[in-house]
Amino acid sequence: MNGIRLRPSKLRETPVRGMVVRFAFGAVVSVAAGLVGLRWGPVAGGVFLAFPAILAATLTLIEEEEHRRDPAAQDARGAVLGATGMVAFAACVWALATLLPAWLVLVVATVAWAVVAGLLYLGFGPRHGR
């Protein structure tokens, strides 16, 4: 079983261009989330900031580590399906927050996320991609 390891020496092996791209993606997504927040409020901005800020950087790391595109493409597909489920979660919280007790809103939103992400996975999961 592989554990999480910290290897600072690997930083020397990462090209400067790769680091710049990762930081730029994170900055652009963060600014986009801020603009969404200014236009539609902090809740909408938070939804955009919570997940996508790390996606691009993660995918470049995976693609670089695996030296091929398949693992990165599969992770991207899974991230999009999961993020779409998170939109369903956020929509449920937004619609139900003032109508039901908080614990019930979270249960309903979690079920909505699981159902949407699960159905999307069944429809567009790994066996469908290439």
Task: Give the pLDDT confidence of 58-71 residue by residue, as tens digits.
Answer: 666 665 555 555 66
SS3 112: helix
Res 1: pLDDT: 45
Share of the chain above pLDDT 70, in %: 62
In a 10 Å sphere around its CB, with 0-12 CB exposed, 13-18 middle and 19+ buried, how is residue 100 labelled? middle
In the predicted structure, residue 77 carries a pLDDT above the cut 90: no
